[in-house]
Amino acid sequence: MRHSWVALPLLAALISASVPHATFAAESRRTAIVLAIESNRDSVVNIHGQKLVTGDDDAASGEQRRVNGMGTGVVVDARGYIVTNYHVVEGVRRIEVTMASGKTVSATLVSHDPRTDLAVIKVACETPLPVICIGTSSDLMIGETVLAYGNAFGYEHTVTRGIVSALHRDVEVTRTQQYQDLIQTDASINPGNSGGPLLNINGEMIGINVAVRAGAQGIGFAIPIDKALAVVTQLLSAERVDKTWHGIVAKGGGQQGVIVEAVHRESPAETIGMKAGDVIMRIGDNAVRCQLDIERGMIGHKAGDCVWLTVSRSGAEERLELPLAAARQLSMSVDERSWLELGLRTEPVAAAKVQKLQTRYRGGLLVKEVRGDGPAADQGIRAGDILVGLHVWETISSENITYVLDKAREENLGPLKFYVLRGRETLFGHLTGDTIRR
């Protein structure tokens, strides 16, 4: 009996001594990659459903067959708003979403943009959902470690690791679907990964996985998060979701808030004295770090509701009560519209001056000023250039710009090809503005 009394404490001591060692060993394996996955797991969902497709053999007869579709989504708002690729949910009769917990719920399509292949869906949720950690794609480095996360071949929450192989890739997937300015990675991206996050080593989403190259190994592509957020901000705008209007045009973002770039005339924001240069720090109790946060703070309210904004002006904080109005067709001058939608201020140039430089043009618009974060600046247009064409139309007067922008909205033209004279040389590119897409 005495012998047993001595042995049991000894055994207990041995066990207690081994537990801390085992715990330490496990913690030592908890690398940055493990932490990145653990911190985002609950904000990544699996999407599946059935859709009707026309096979190559059936194209002539028009016969369709039902196929099972699958993809991935990321939660961007705790109320159940989820971003994915449009091709994942296009034509799906009933969108089913499986959460990390294993619970499956139905989702509705809120809005979409076929040109960029992005969509927002929504699930009903009784408790707030974990939101993905959003980073930036502006400082990506070729060779840095990235992680692809998604529903690869139906295997839920599959993680693959790779590096950024290249930036600014243009990819043609089909005759009707082309992508521009993608991140190329060798992290394995497979069917079912579409719409899932591409994470950096800190666990921040820096891209949305979108495509693979048929017949190639180790080549996948993702939409840079900065570009994706610009589209998602429009897809989740209060004007689009709730038909309400605030009138704020913002830019940039970071830990200290988002800068107001412009305020629409006669808008709710103008009525309470908001102006360019204000920094929106919080909406209600929620921090604002990107323009999407502004829209997230506005949705869920109806016209007449008031939203509290914390704004920084000249180093001092102010609280402003913003009353939302019913969405309406904006009445802007041509100059205002060109500045807000294209990031340009222009004035007509005499036809003789333009033809002296290049005889093929009947006139043009001299670029007087370029907005630093606008579509024109992104494409390298600068003051002194002469805008001679947009899409398939010439730009001789400011009214020509209005006509083209109206057409872009009505016919969903996508990026607008532009032509500028710089000296005697004609340069061209594509303008992609947030307002153009709306």
* Residues labelled as active-site residues: 87, 117, 194
* 44: enclosing H helix or E strand: strand 44-53
d(CA 208, CA 379) in angstroms, rounded, equals 23
> Residue 323: which residues within 8 A CB-CB, separation 6 or more?
268, 271, 272, 304, 305, 306
d(CA 85, CA 120) in angstroms, rounded, equals 8
- What amino acid occupies position 77? D
d(CA 178, CA 170) in angstroms, rounded, equals 8
Instruction: Indicate the length of the chain as a whole number.
Output: 438
d(CA 144, CA 183) in angstroms, rounded, equals 12
3-class DSSP assignment, residue 401: helix
Give whole-number Cα distances, 222 to 132, 186, 187, 227, 356, in Å: 16, 11, 11, 11, 45
Q: Which of 294, 282, 300 is nearest to 229 (CA)?
A: 294
Q: Residue 241 — left, alpha, or beta (φ > 0 → left; ψ -120 to 50 → alpha)? A: alpha
Structure tokens at 21: 């060692």
3-class DSSP assignment, residue 161: strand
Q: Which of 159, 180, 192, 261 is nearest to 227 (CA)?
A: 180
Pairing state between β 258-263 and 364-370: unpaired
